[in-house]
A and B are shown apart, each in its own frame.
Chain A
Amino acid sequence: MRLKKLNSEELIELLEIFFAEYDLIAPFKVEQGRLNRVLFRKIRQNNEIPSIYLKEMPETTPKNFILPRDERLDFERFNSEREENENSLARAKTRLFFGVRSCDLAAIELFDDVFLDEDYLDPFYESRREKNIFIGYSNQILPPNNFQKELEIGYFDHQLAPAFIYEDLEARGREHYWLKIKAGYQFSKDVEAHLDNLETGEIGNLEKLLNDWEDKFTGETDFEIKNKLPFPEKEVFNQVDWQEPTASCLGCGVCTYYCPTCFCFDFFWDGSTKNRAWDSCMFSLFTEHASGHNPREEQHQRWRQRLLHKFSYHPQNYNDKPGCVGCGRCIYKCPVNLDIRNVINAVDKTLVKGGQASEER
């Protein structure tokens, strides 16, 4: 591992080098209607680089690029001519996502578990997932309503990212970025050539800084999950009062559209091309049968699906890993501020009451 301290100008210079080599995608702050939003966007010109906005957690994640909202499924690409096409794919530039939070990196890993599974490989996902590099980011501000720590996702690193950048917002005006380049990735070798005098002596200082930030974060949240994951499916399904904690839900699916780990989609035809588009278990049509019968007639039943998928079914299928990374987006994007932590809390309490609580995690 190597480390370098940078100031803003040096960071911009480095990004300019990346821009020449990669398709650079980074977060920007934009005003849309009454909202000030931070969104990932592809950079088209060098002069956009200084406006990259890292301080607040972006609303979108690389999900929008890897599993887009609408996608044309070009089966031609995967037929006999595949080989030739693969060559043309190989010529496309590698995408470099800059400024990705650790929880969002964990979400991409979760997608990989699902879509790159040998038995159920999704070739469309696979082709979009090829040739992506992620550079992580964190600072000393805990994103709003974030509870990733409770799900054992660290704030300051993730194995998907060959490099991580830390911004000390209190050290403005001086060298306030720490760029950590990890050994063992091809990207690291490429980038080292561009960085003169990479320092290695300050690792202790960085670690101390990150420990301080982590302590501060721990003081800010009082949410905890007492039961081990996966939640026991049958008990939770039957015993929890799903109506009370979800009574305010409007069924809009915003929580799932902005969730970095939600991946449900629907197929539809546009003339003779097959497409897929995001779908959501929060919609009434999600489970409606052709007969008109709907096994999830009420909104609280749909919420039960969402919660169980993330905290029971997903961990059951993928080595106890939760289907939620605790980013907090579903909470602040929800038009009625319905908090998933309240629902988890209701589950937790029911299990504790029923004597199911496993020893504290």
Chain B
Amino acid sequence: MTNSYKEITEDLQDIIEQIYKQEEFDRLLAYGRGLFSGLIEPVIVDKEAELDLDRLEFTDEAYQMLSKYLLKNRELKQVVVAKPCDTRAIAFYISENIIARDNLIVVGINGCPGIKDNTACDECDSKNPVIADYTAGNLMPEDEFAKDKSDLKYLLSEENQVTRKNHYTKEFMRCTQCYACRDACPVCYCDHCFVESNQPVWLEAGSGPEEDMVFHLMRTMHMPGRCVNCGACEMACPEGIEMRSLTSHLYHQAREYFDFRPGLAVDQKSLFSDYNEEDPEPGFLQQEGD
């Protein structure tokens, strides 16, 4: 069974109080309720700053990926409240050598009860933290959330190319090119994204169908072996664009073909560096009926 938001919140408050007493650290990343908005927002504070512990909370609206914020100050010692998907992003960072395990105090959430309106939670195959120094809530038995990989054929994968292209062209028409999907994604962490590159220019200013397609397809191509299927991209999109059907499709494909899921362990090899003779070769541009 998953834990209740209330139990997790109480545990989190106790754990963080304890951490303040007994741990050395520079910065805390947690969730709390906005002073005026009443909405759940990231609470990012230095250890010395005043903090009202009662303000910290975990609810079904804690959709922001706090793991993403770790990257900004990798040199600091940071305490982070992490949903299971966040812990997978963190394990992935460590496996990619972009953040040091010693700089992190991970407060993981056991038996995550999920996030409202986040469809990725329905597909979630890791409802307990992958790494944690402290945990809130009770562990959830694995057989309650383990997914059979064959169940997870993604939306549209059965449709033909023309239908798919029409669907995405139409869906991406709403894209404002704010790149919030990329900004919110915990594993989109390049210091210099192709989006901002002006030598060469990959994307022109303004938004048109070509730019939309180039942006989404290029980002999608950067995602297999990295996407931890957390759903943050869709949750962030102000236009309600369902771009996860691209990235998550590749997540499930990597699992199906290579039994690979990123961020399961801190010493995991990456999808592309771990070649095995037996690996199937489904082909990059697989045609229908292949």
Out of A33, A69, A258, name the residue touching B237 (CB < 8 Å).
Answer: A33
Shortest distance from the beta carbon of A299 to any chain B beta carbon, whole Å:
9
Shortest distance from the beta carbon of A61 to any chain B beta carbon, whole Å:
14
The answer for the CA separation of A250 and B46 in the assembled complex, in Å, is: 19
Binds A, one of B29-37, B95-103, B129-137, B259-267: B29-37
With A33-B237, A35-B240, A251-B183 known as contacts, the answer to whether A277 contacts B207 (CB < 8 A) is: yes
The answer for the CA separation of A189 and B236 in the assembled complex, in Å, is: 47
The answer for the CA separation of A266 and B184 in the assembled complex, in Å, is: 24
A253 x B178 contact (CB < 8 A)? yes
What residues of chain B lie closer than 8 Å to A342, measured between beta carbons?
Answer: 34-36
What residues of chain A lie closer than 8 Å to B45, measured between beta carbons?
Answer: 244
What residues of chain A lie closer than 8 Å to B178, measured between beta carbons?
Answer: 252-254, 257
The answer for the CA separation of A267 and B206 in the assembled complex, in Å, is: 9
Q: Is A223 in the interface zone, CB < 8 Å from B?
A: yes
What residues of chain B lie closer than 8 Å to A277, measured between beta carbons?
Answer: 205-207
A252 x B179 contact (CB < 8 A)? yes
Shortest distance from the beta carbon of B239 to any chain A beta carbon, whole Å:
7
What residues of chain A lie closer than 8 Å to B234, measured between beta carbons?
Answer: 33-34
A145 x B49 contact (CB < 8 A)? no
Q: Is B64 in the interface zone, CB < 8 Å from A?
A: yes
Which residue, of A32, A69, A284, has the highest number of chain B Cβ atoms within 10 A?
A32
Interface flags, A274-292, vs B, CB<8A=1, else 0: 0101010000110010000
Q: Is A295 in the interface zone, CB < 8 Å from B?
A: no
Interface flags, B65-98, vs A, CB<8A=1, else 0: 0001100000000000000000000000000000
The answer for the CA separation of A267 and B198 in the assembled complex, in Å, is: 15
Out of B41, B179, B239, B241, name the residue touching A338 (CB < 8 Å).
Answer: B41
Interface flags, A52-75, vs B, CB<8A=1, else 0: 000000000000000001100000
B36 x A223 contact (CB < 8 A)? yes
Out of A69, A244, A247, A267, name the residue touching B176 (CB < 8 Å).
Answer: A69
A331 x B37 contact (CB < 8 A)? yes
B35 x A345 contact (CB < 8 A)? yes
The answer for the CA separation of A97 and B153 in the assembled complex, in Å, is: 45
Q: Is A248 in the interface zone, CB < 8 Å from B?
A: yes
The answer for the CA separation of A338 and B37 in the assembled complex, in Å, is: 9
Q: Is A29 in the interface zone, CB < 8 Å from B?
A: no
- Beta-carbon nearest neighbor of A342 in chain B: B35
- Beta-carbon nearest neighbor of A32 in chain B: B240
With A32-B240, A34-B240 known as contacts, the answer to whether A335 contacts B184 (CB < 8 A) is: yes
B180 x A250 contact (CB < 8 A)? yes
- Beta-carbon nearest neighbor of B206 in chain A: A277
- Beta-carbon nearest neighbor of B45 in chain A: A244
What residues of chain B lie closer than 8 Å to A337, measured between beta carbons?
Answer: 34, 37, 39-41, 64
A145 x B37 contact (CB < 8 A)? yes
Out of A32, A221, A223, A252, name the residue touching B174 (CB < 8 Å).
Answer: A32
Q: Is A41 in the interface zone, CB < 8 Å from B?
A: no
How many chain A residues have a CB neighbour from B under 8 Å? 43
Out of B35, B49, B179, B205, name the residue touching A244 (CB < 8 Å).
Answer: B49
8 A Cβ contacts from B11-42 to A: 34-37, 39-42
What residues of chain A lie closer than 8 Å to B60, measured between beta carbons?
Answer: none
Q: Is B235 in the interface zone, CB < 8 Å from A?
A: yes
- Beta-carbon nearest neighbor of B34 in chain A: A339
A335 x B180 contact (CB < 8 A)? yes
Interface flags, A328-361, vs B, CB<8A=1, else 0: 0001110111110110010000000000000000
Q: Is A185 in the interface zone, CB < 8 Å from B?
A: no
Q: Is B119 in the interface zone, CB < 8 Å from A?
A: yes
Shortest distance from the beta carbon of B191 to any chain A beta carbon, whole Å:
11
What residues of chain B lie closer than 8 Å to A288, measured between beta carbons?
Answer: 198
8 A Cβ contacts from A116-134 to B: none
Shortest distance from the beta carbon of B32 to any chain A beta carbon, whole Å:
10
A/B interface sample: 24 pairs, CB < 8 A: A33-B239, A34-B117, A70-B206, A145-B36, A145-B37, A244-B45, A244-B46, A252-B183, A254-B178, A257-B176, A267-B205, A268-B204, A277-B206, A279-B205, A285-B198, A335-B180, A335-B183, A335-B236, A335-B237, A336-B64, A337-B39, A337-B40, A339-B41, A341-B36
**Which B residues contact A (CB, under 8 angstroms)?**
34-37, 39-42, 44-46, 49, 64, 68-69, 117, 119, 174, 176, 178-180, 183-184, 196, 198, 204-208, 234-242
Q: What 7 new A-B contacts, CB under 8 Å, besides A34-B117, A254-B178, A336-B184?
A: A248-B44, A248-B69, A275-B206, A335-B64, A336-B41, A341-B37, A345-B35
A-B pairs, 6 with minimum CB distance? A33-B240, A35-B240, A335-B236, A252-B180, A250-B183, A277-B206
